[in-house]
Amino acid sequence: MVKKEWDSDTFYDVNLKVILLGSSRVMLDKGLSDSLQGRFERIILSHWSFAEMRDAFGFTLDQFVYYGAYPGAAELIGDEDRWRDYITGSIVDATINKDILVNEKIAKPALLRQSFELSAAYSGKELSLTKMIGQLQDAGNTTTIAGYLILLSQAGLVCGLNKFAVDLARKKNSVPKHQVYNNALKNIYCEKSFADAVQDRSLWGRLYESAIGAHIMSYAYAGDYKVYYWRTNPGTEVDYVLEKKGKVIAIEVKNNSDHGNKGLDEFKAQYNPYLALVVGDGGMKAEDFLSSNPVDLFK
């Protein structure tokens, strides 16, 4: 149909421009499998940023960390039950049931949903596929779970980050660090309310790191950079490692209770990255980082 309209406006000398819009990355990618060579430009829009949520809805940094960046849910944050119902029904259910299940052959739909819920809840943490299977109710294997995580990532929900290494095989065989693309997807499974979560500094540190990671992942697809994490042992780690055209950027996320940079120093000594950055205390303000496009760090 798009090709028909394109050729028709050329034949009749009509300056017609066709714009295809849609929130489903899965459906758009599949729809464009039919060649439109020379007829289209793809413009990728990511999740809303902190700056956009702040300017449009008056979100504070803490609200952005907890409630994420879905504009349709912004007016519901005063009623957290409604907010959770909206994210679950309008975002999660719609994406999994209407986008993924309609367009892909899924042998175990319940396992796909459980994989998402567990991965989202563990956003910002490492969890092996073997341990995931042990916590899932439905039967499955590591190959199935890995495949489902790829589908969930393609849908812009959640992904599993590989450990950074020079050796490609080591990257692929590492324990994944789970990461949502929008922090709302993690916090619908948070057992504490916004007010209580802010007071729990240990919990808030994990939500804060996940929010920074979600911002990084949200721009990764359009920015054409890859995202990893790095760890040698507990206490010696880098939260996020970005790689684009041979340039490597190491990002460490810091909150009020954490001031050491041992992992970042060791990573710099071992890999000599293009840029090493602390986001939070002692480094770039979280507000500034969350208001920027991470791809600009490579310039």
Concatenated DSSP letters for the chain? -HHHHHHHHHHTT---------S-HHHHHHHTTS--TTT-------SPPHHHHHHHH---HHHHHHH-S-GGGGGGTTSHHHHHHHIIIIIIIIIIIIIIHHHS--S-HHHHHHHHHHHHHTTTSB--HHHHHHH-SS---HHHHHHHHHHHHHTTSEEEEEEP-SSHHHHHTSPPEEEESSTHHHHTT-SS-HHHHHH-HHHHHHHHHHHHHHHHHHHHHHHT-EEEEEEEETTEEEEEEEEETTEEEEEEEE-TT----HHHHHHHHHH--SEEEEEETTSB-HHHHHTS-GGGGG-
* Model pLDDT, residue 18: 76
Which pLDDT tens digits describe the chain residue by residue (299 residues)?
777 877 888 888 888 777 777 666 666 666 555 666 776 777 888 899 999 999 999 999 999 999 999 999 999 999 999 999 999 999 999 999 888 888 788 989 999 999 999 999 999 999 999 999 888 877 678 889 999 999 999 889 999 999 998 776 666 678 999 999 999 999 999 999 999 999 999 999 999 999 999 999 999 988 999 999 999 887 789 999 999 999 999 999 998 655 568 899 999 999 999 999 999 988 999 999 999 999 999 99
| Predicted local distance difference test score (pLDDT) of residue 135 | 86
With vertex at residue 70, the alpha carbon angle to CA 68 and CA 76, rounded to the nearest 5 degrees, is: 90
Residue written as tokens 């060579």?
A: 37
> Which residues share a beta bridge with 192?
none
pLDDT at 260: 65
Instruction: Looking at the structure, tell me whether residues 32 and 52 fall in a common domain.
Output: no
| Per-residue confidence (pLDDT) for residue 117, from 0 to 100 | 96
Do 59 and 88 reside in the same domain of the chain? yes
Shared-domain flag, residues 227 and 273: yes
Residues 38 and 48 in one domain: no
Question: Please, what sign has the CA dihedral across residues 210, 144, 115, 29?
Answer: positive
Q: What is the pLDDT of residue 216?
A: 98
Assess whether 92 and 150 both reside in one domain.
yes
- Both 134 and 213 in one domain: the answer is yes
What pLDDT, on the 0 to 100 scale, is given for residue 43? 81
- Identity at 52, one-letter amino acid code: E
Distance CA 135, CA 115 (A): 10
Q: Which residue range forms the structural domain that includes residue 19? A: 1-43
Of the three residues 9, 24, 43, the one that is the final residue of a domain is: 43
pLDDT attached to residue 80: 97
Q: Are residues 149 and 11 in the same domain?
A: no
Contact 255, 246 (CB under 8 A): no
Evaluate the CA torsion angle 64, 241, 121, 159 in order and state its sign.
positive
- Residues 178 and 33 grouped into a single domain: no
Domains in the chain, number? 2
Q: Are residues 78 and 98 in the same domain?
A: yes
Q: Please, are residues 133 and 146 in contact by the beta-carbon 8 Å criterion?
A: no
34 and 74 assigned to the same domain: no
Please tell me the predicted confidence (pLDDT) of residue 169.
63
Predicted structure pTM score? 0.87
pLDDT for 36 equals 65
One domain for residues 146 and 1 = no
Residues 132 and 238 in one domain: yes
